[in-house]
């Protein structure tokens, strides 16, 4: 079966957070199951770039585009149409772009079934909310109406989508991780030495995009309220929203935490693994996460996790590999205290980490995806290609 993955960002452009890595992992898993997988995407660094590359055996076609930042408009409709015609099933990722709506129109025109995976974006929470609502009015409702399936990565995301889409089309298929990547962590003391963190200091780590949706201002406030002894906090990730990054630095200075809270750029590869190895607690304080891959990776790295209950992985992690708390500085502060200061409580809350890790692999999500594609293909065959 020929599968076309459609996304505005793709591996190895990890500066855009988890989706490029997740879509690549799915693509590689499908290829290993003998699916013919290709990807249609943009390269953020080359707006006029056009061509095909092979990444880990996956054919990736880059489209030329015009626009600014993430507001990209594809300008080679012939290449789009050719890619859609070649495909048997089309999988579109994300909202608030023009690539997916155009592909959806072509899919309907050429009678190719397509799926929409909103990546937790449906409810506008940050940025230009008015523009996102207009996007929904113009594109999202139509795309969902004609989509063969709509994929939610958690029960919470499914509940968000249910009022706006045909419930019979919504399928819950979580994300996953590859635990083997975290089996042999480097020496965490090297990360500590590089960032002037003492061996005896307790390190709280956040890894992810430095973005308002991650709720980092509230986390910084919670760190101040918790008044932890001998503790440091590192917030690391891509800073695509510079205004927000500056706001965080100002907030840190205002609370007189400059010596205790550091905001770093993105960490990849060995440096990211070293950060995990150095950490005593991983925190994901997001206002909303359809899944929360970074928290799952922390579980794989053997680190206790504190996350907000608005994260898709919260029901899986809470009381088994970490603690989930409501959004709010006071609740986060309490979570920081009990997970760092109460050793017995932390041990109790993470006692089932090994079982959780087994449930976080890609095996089940891939099987569910394969089954979904097969059913969609059969439905298409019944109505006629």
CA distance 219 to 307: 11
At 155-176, the pLDDT tens digits run 989 999 999 889 999 999 999 9
Q: Which domains does the chain have, with CATH numbers?
A: 2-176+362-383 (3.40.50.2000), 179-359 (3.40.50.2000)
Residue count (the chain)? 385
At 15-41, the pLDDT tens digits run 888 899 999 999 999 999 999 999 999
153 close to 172: Cβ distance less than 8 angstroms: yes
Q: What is the pLDDT of residue 70?
A: 59
pTM to 2 decimals? 0.87
298 close to 219: Cβ distance less than 8 angstroms: no
Of 43, 99, 44, 55, whose CA–CA distance to 76 is shortest?
99
| Alpha helix stretches (DSSP H) within the chain | 18-32, 77-86, 99-109, 129-135, 141-146, 155-161, 188-194, 216-226, 242-254, 269-278, 293-300, 314-317, 329-341, 343-349, 353-359, 363-383
At 40-78, the pLDDT tens digits run 999 988 888 778 999 999 999 999 999 876 578 999 999
CA distance 25 to 39: 12
């Amino acid at each position: 079966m020929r599968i076309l993955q459609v996304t505005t960002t793709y591996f190895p452009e990890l500066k855009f957070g988890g989706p490029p890595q997740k879509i690549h992992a799915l693509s590689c898993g499908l290829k290993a199951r003998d699916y013919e997988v290709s990807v249609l995407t943009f390269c953020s660094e080359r707006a006029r770039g056009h061509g095909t590359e092979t990444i880990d055996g996956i054919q990736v076609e880059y489209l030329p585009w015009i626009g600014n930042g993430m507001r990209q408009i594809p300008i080679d409709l012939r290449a789009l149409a050719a890619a859609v015609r070649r495909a048997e099933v089309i999988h579109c990722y994300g909202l608030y772009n023009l690539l997916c709506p155009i592909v959806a129109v072509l899919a309907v025109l050429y009678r190719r079934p397509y799926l929409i995976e909103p990546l937790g974006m449906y409810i506008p929470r940050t940025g230009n909310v008015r523009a996102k609502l207009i996007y929904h009015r113009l594109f999202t409702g139509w795309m969902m109406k004609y989509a063969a399936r709509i994929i939610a990565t958690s029960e919470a995301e499914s509940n968000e989508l249910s009022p706006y889409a045909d419930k019979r089309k919504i399928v819950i298929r979580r994300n996953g991780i590859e635990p083997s990547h975290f089996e042999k962590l480097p020496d965490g003391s090297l990360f500590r030495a590089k960032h002037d963190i003492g061996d005896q200091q307790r390190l709280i780590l956040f890894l992810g995009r430095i973005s308002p949706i991650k709720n980092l201002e509230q986390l910084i406030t919670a760190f101040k309220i918790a008044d932890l002894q001998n503790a440091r906090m590192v917030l690391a990730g891509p800073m695509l929203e510079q205004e927000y990054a500056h706001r965080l630095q100002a907030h840190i200075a205002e609370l007189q935490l400059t010596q205790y809270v550091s905001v770093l750029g993105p960490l990849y590869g060995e440096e990211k693994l070293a950060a995990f190895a150095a950490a005593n607690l991983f925190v994901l304080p997001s206002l909303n996460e359809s899944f929360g891959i970074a928290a799952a990776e922390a579980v794989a790295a053997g680190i206790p996790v504190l996350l907000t209950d608005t994260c898709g992985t919260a029901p899986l992690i809470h009381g088994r590999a970490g603690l989930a708390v409501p959004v709010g500085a006071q609740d986060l502060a309490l979570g920081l205290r009990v997970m760092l200061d109460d050793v017995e409580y932390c041990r109790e809350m993470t006692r089932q980490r090994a079982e959780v890790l087994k449930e976080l692999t890609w095996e089940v999500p891939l099987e569910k995806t394969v089954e979904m594609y097969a059913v969609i293909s059969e439905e298409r065959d019944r109505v006629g290609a």
